[in-house]
């Protein structure tokens, strides 16, 4: 994950959204690779999986990361798909209405379903307005009950959707033109909970068998709850398949669905040739299946090694072991409270954000020194995590600045210049904002130590407080300037809304630095960010 800017240490990434776009291309590897490459190119996003199927003529790309970085990748993928995929020449087994057929946003960590709904509407609006592709919102983002289910929008395929758009006012798209794009069709964008794409292959070439079994097991025909199913032909394998989506594996687990399909197949004299999972699957779903298949008694998630290691108390203990060193009853020299390697950072090649991150890291280092001497282990551990993340953010800010410079070097008439500038400025805005948040967290930690430490150590903590305070001021100023030149107004609005959540943290942190309270300063900065 290193190249994406997502870290696996501790709770570094506090907000994670998953996006799972489905594209109408499963045979041309170069096109699928190009689409997946978009996720690799944007900081703050990690490509998790790419799967293509020549019979379905469909590709599923899974990526996750910071909410607005994920939104930018999603839009750029839709843009690329509209240029590379032509539905006029597309023939595949899977139902579809667009080059980018469906694009769901899924809450993973630190975000709500409503957050994902907002992302879906933001990206859908961009696709409709800028790419001139009609967009229909579905699932949790749906604006009409008849569009909530994806299969209702796909009913009748491209022609069925085109006819409804032309004759029924209820089928005006949520965004974009009132007619299909000539080559890219339409796009369905939404927000949903995690689902499992589960397929069962049958040793038969009789498509009617697969369709009959699909009808029996799917919820809409009176079958299993939370199961959607269709029957398709896999010509390349000379098989048929029951292709399913499980929208709630806790209510209807994988093993229950498989047993139902196997039972219906046997009743028709057909054997199961194998199964497949398309994309990713929640760990819990596999645990449920393993428990049933192995007849395990009293088995639960605490017996899974990785799950036990990932528990907060395990991460905290490991962090303590990594950070624990013999405590000497003396103040360490200045070079030991900055960078982890003990070296003072060079100013050459630095940016304002990277210097701010280094300064805040020094403040955290001062706090760590005092926490060690006062044996405040929990505070020391958290300060160590903050310092590590600040060093990562220093490099991230330098990288973001370099990418902004590259985008600005493109000719004004270059077609990709606006998108590259918008995407790269996103990193130049979000990085100093994260530095601000970590600095806001530093201040109460240092202030808490100040009340319980010896007088001879208090000047160190006061210096750390002033450093963190200065970093907040400086980085907010950088955010202000970068937002002035950010061409994407939707991103600006989203960033302001996201930062408003941290407003109280900023107020609390600054109030701990000044007496009397900082009303005039706060009002000034909040006005700059237009949060009020």
DSSP of 448-470, one letter per residue? HHHTTS-GGGHHHHHHHHHHHHH
pLDDT of residue 9: 39
Q: At what angle do helices 283-293 and 254-267 cross, to 10 degrees?
A: 60
pLDDT of residue 491: 65
d(CA 442, CA 457): 17
- SS3 call for 174: coil
Q: At what angle do helices 519-528 and 458-484 cross, to 10 degrees?
A: 30
Q: What is the pLDDT of residues 370-413, one digit of tens each?
A: 888 888 887 888 898 899 889 888 888 888 888 888 888 888 88
pLDDT of residue 80: 92
d(CA 465, CA 461): 6
Highest mean pLDDT among 111-125, 177-191, 392-406, 511-525 belongs to 177-191
pLDDT band at 204 (very low <50, low <70, confident <90, very high): very high
d(CA 172, CA 169): 6
Q: Are 273 and 202 in contact (CB under 8 A)?
A: yes
pLDDT of residue 180: 95
pLDDT band at 299 (very low <50, low <70, confident <90, very high): low
Percent of the chain with pLDDT over 90: 28
Pairing label, strands 239-246, 196-202: antiparallel
Q: What is the DSSP letter of 98?
A: B
User: Around 269, how many Cα atoms within 13 Å sit in the side-chain half-sphere?
Assistant: 2
- Pick from 146-160, 220-234, 310-324, 483-497: least confident: 310-324
Name the residue with tokens 């009617």: 208
pLDDT band at 326 (very low <50, low <70, confident <90, very high): very low
pLDDT of residue 264: 94
pLDDT at 344 over 70: no
Give the angle 66-381-433 at the CA atoms, nearest 5°. 30
d(CA 133, CA 138): 16
Give the containing element (helix H, strand E) for 106: strand 100-109
pLDDT at 531 over 50: no
Highest mean pLDDT among 151-155, 419-423, 522-526 belongs to 151-155
Token output for 407: 């985008």
pLDDT at 200 over 50: yes
pLDDT of residue 196: 85
Residue 22's nearest CA partner among 152, 150, 174, 161 is 150
* Count of other CB atoms within 10 angstroms of residue 523: 11
> Which of 478 and 518 is assigned the larger pLDDT?
478
d(CA 325, CA 314): 19
pLDDT of residue 162: 93
| 455 alpha carbon, distance to own chain's centre | 46
pLDDT at 332 over 80: no
**What is the average pLDDT across 23-29?**
91
Residue 339 makes CB contacts below 8 A (sequence gap 6+) with 345, 358, 361, 391
Q: Are 323 and 381 in contact (CB under 8 A)?
A: yes
Give the containing element (helix H, strand E) for 300: none
Q: Count H helices, E strands: the chain?
A: 17, 11
Token output for 236: 């390349």
**What is the average pLDDT across 152-177?**
92
- Provide the sign of the torsion angle of the four alpha carbons 254, 259, 264, 265, taken in this order: positive
Q: Which of 94, 249, 391, 414 is catalytic?
A: 94
pLDDT at 166 over 50: yes
> Which of 234 and 496 is assigned the larger pLDDT?
234
N-terminal to C-terminal alpha carbon distance within the chain: 37
pLDDT at 513 over 90: no
Q: How many residues does the chain have?
A: 532
Pairing label, strands 45-53, 16-19: unpaired
pLDDT at 126 over 50: yes
CATH numbers and ranges of domains, the chain: 1-193 (3.30.990.10), 195-310 (3.30.70.670), 312-488 (1.20.120.680)
pLDDT of residue 500: 60
- SS3 call for 48: strand
> Which of 66 and 7 is assigned the larger pLDDT?
66
- Pick from 190-199, 326-335, 460-469: least confident: 326-335
Q: Are 118 and 138 in contact (CB under 8 A)?
A: no
pLDDT of residue 503: 60
Token output for 510: 């600054």
The CA–CA distances, whole Å, from 502 to 274, 439, 498 equal: 50, 12, 8
Q: Are 370 and 449 in contact (CB under 8 A)?
A: yes
pLDDT band at 443 (very low <50, low <70, confident <90, very high): confident
pLDDT at 521 over 50: no
d(CA 365, CA 243): 55
Residue 278 makes CB contacts below 8 A (sequence gap 6+) with 51, 53, 60, 197, 198, 199
pLDDT at 331 over 50: no
Residue 51's nearest CA partner among 221, 281, 237 is 281
d(CA 299, CA 286): 13
pLDDT at 59 over 60: yes
Give the angle 399-400-402 at the CA atoms, nearest 5°. 65
Give the angle 275-277-278 at the CA atoms, nearest 5°. 130
pLDDT band at 250 (very low <50, low <70, confident <90, very high): confident
pLDDT of residue 303: 64
d(CA 159, CA 456): 79
Q: Is 57 an active-site residue?
A: no
Q: Are 365 and 338 in contact (CB under 8 A)?
A: yes
Indicate the pTM of the whole model.
Answer: 0.53
The CA–CA distances, whole Å, from 124 to 103, 188, 211 equal: 9, 8, 33
pLDDT of residue 504: 59
**What is the average pLDDT across 119-129?**
92
Highest mean pLDDT among 47-56, 211-220, 322-331, 500-509 belongs to 211-220
**What is the average pLDDT across 491-505?**
62
């Amino acid at each position: 994950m290193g190249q994406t800017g997502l870290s696996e240490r501790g709770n570094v990434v506090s907000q994670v959204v998953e996006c799972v776009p489905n594209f109408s291309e499963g045979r041309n590897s170069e096109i699928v690779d190009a689409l997946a490459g978009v996720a690799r190119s944007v900081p703050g996003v990690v490509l998790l999986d790419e799967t293509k199927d020549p019979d379905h003529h469909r590709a599923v790309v899974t990526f996750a990361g910071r909410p607005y970085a994920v939104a930018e990748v999603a839009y750029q993928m839709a843009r690329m798909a509209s240029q590379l995929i032509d539905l006029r020449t597309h023939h595949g087994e899977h139902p579809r209405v667009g080059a980018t057929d469906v694009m769901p946003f899924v809450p993973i960590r630190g975000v709500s379903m409503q957050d994902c709904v907002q992302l879906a509407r933001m990206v859908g609006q961009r696709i409709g307005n800028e790419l001139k592709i009609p967009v229909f919102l579905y699932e949790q983002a749906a604006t009409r009950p008849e569009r909530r289910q994806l299969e209702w929008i796909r009913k009748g395929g491209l022609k069925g959707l085109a006819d409804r758009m032309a004759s029924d006012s209820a089928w005006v798209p949520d965004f974009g033109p009132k007619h299909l794009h000539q080559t890219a069709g339409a796009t369905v964008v939404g927000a949903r909970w995690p689902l499992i794409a589960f397929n069962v292959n049958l040793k038969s070439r009789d498509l009617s068998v697969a369709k009959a079994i699909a009808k029996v097991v799917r919820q809409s025909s009176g079958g299993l709850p939370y199961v959607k199913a269709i029957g398709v032909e896999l010509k390349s394998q000379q098989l048929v398949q029951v292709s399913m989506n499980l929208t709630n594996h806790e209510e209807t687990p994988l093993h229950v669905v498989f047993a139902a399909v196997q039972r219906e197949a046997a009743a028709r004299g057909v054997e199961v040739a194998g199964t497949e999972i398309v994309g990713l699957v929640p760990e819990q779903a596999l645990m449920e299946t393993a428990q049933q298949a192995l007849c395990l008694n009293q088995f639960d998630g605490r017996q899974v090694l990785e799950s036990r290691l990932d528990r907060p108390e395990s991460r905290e203990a490991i962090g303590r072991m990594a950070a624990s060193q013999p405590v000497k009853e003396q103040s360490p020299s200045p070079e030991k409270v900055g960078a982890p390697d003990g070296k003072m950072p060079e100013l050459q090649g630095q940016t304002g954000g990277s210097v701010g991150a280094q300064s805040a890291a020094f403040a955290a280092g001062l706090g760590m020194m005092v926490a060690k001497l006062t044996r405040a282990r929990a505070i020391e551990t958290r300060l160590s995590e903050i310092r590590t993340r600040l060093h990562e953010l220093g490099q991230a800010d330098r990288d973001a600045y370099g990418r902004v410079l590259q985008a600005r070097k493109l000719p004004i008439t270059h077609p990709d210049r606006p998108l590259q500038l918008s995407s790269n400025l996103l990193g130049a805005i979000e990085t100093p904002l994260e530095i601000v948040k970590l600095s806001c967290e530093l201040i109460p930690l240092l202030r808490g130590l100040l009340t319980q430490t010896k007088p001879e150590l208090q000047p160190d903590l006061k210096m750390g407080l002033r450093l963190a305070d200065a970093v907040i001021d400086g980085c907010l100023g950088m955010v202000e300037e970068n937002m002035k030149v950010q061409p994407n107004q939707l991103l600006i609005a989203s960033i302001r809304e996201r930062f408003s959540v941290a407003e109280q943290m900023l107020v609390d942190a600054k109030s701990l630095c000044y007496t009397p309270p900082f009303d005039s300063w706060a009002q000034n900065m909040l006005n700059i960010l237009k949060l009020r």
